[in-house]
Amino acid sequence: MKTIRVQIVEDDAGFLYLLECTLSKDPRFELCSSCKNSETAISVAIAENLWLPANPDIVLMDLNLSGKELDGIETARTIRLNTNARVVILTSYEDHETIIHASTRAFASAYLYKSSFSALIPTLIA
């Protein structure tokens, strides 16, 4: 069985830790990188796709990085346009219209409300 390589982009240290712990305990996943800001996320994702033989399959992208409203959209969009990774938006926003708009603009394949953390694994393997 092929492992699913995951890059996490999340600026909340506590939530990042929770994601890392959850994914590291599941043998179906390999954590390839964790980034706390847009610039690092983009450079790591693109570098991995250029230089490493095993690229991230999924990027978990926080919708709100560094306090700028919805700045994860452009980061996700840039990664999606330059890699083969699927993007899954992570968000504490629960306004359906906002999330659909953000997911569409980011070319995301899915989204996950942070309050629905128990759906993480099913969302990633879908």
- In tens, the pLDDT along 83-117 reads 889 999 999 888 889 889 899 999 999 999 999 99
If one counts every other C-beta atom within 10 angstroms of the C-beta of residue 90, the result is: 23
Least-confidence region, from 16-20, 43-47, 83-87:
43-47
∠ CA 77-7-46, rounded to 5°: 55
Sign of CA dihedral 95, 122, 72, 113: positive
Model confidence at 40, pLDDT cuts 50, 70, 90, reads confident
pLDDT at 30 over 90: yes
pTM recorded for the entire structure = 0.89
pLDDT at 1 over 80: no
pLDDT in tens, 53-63: 557 899 999 98
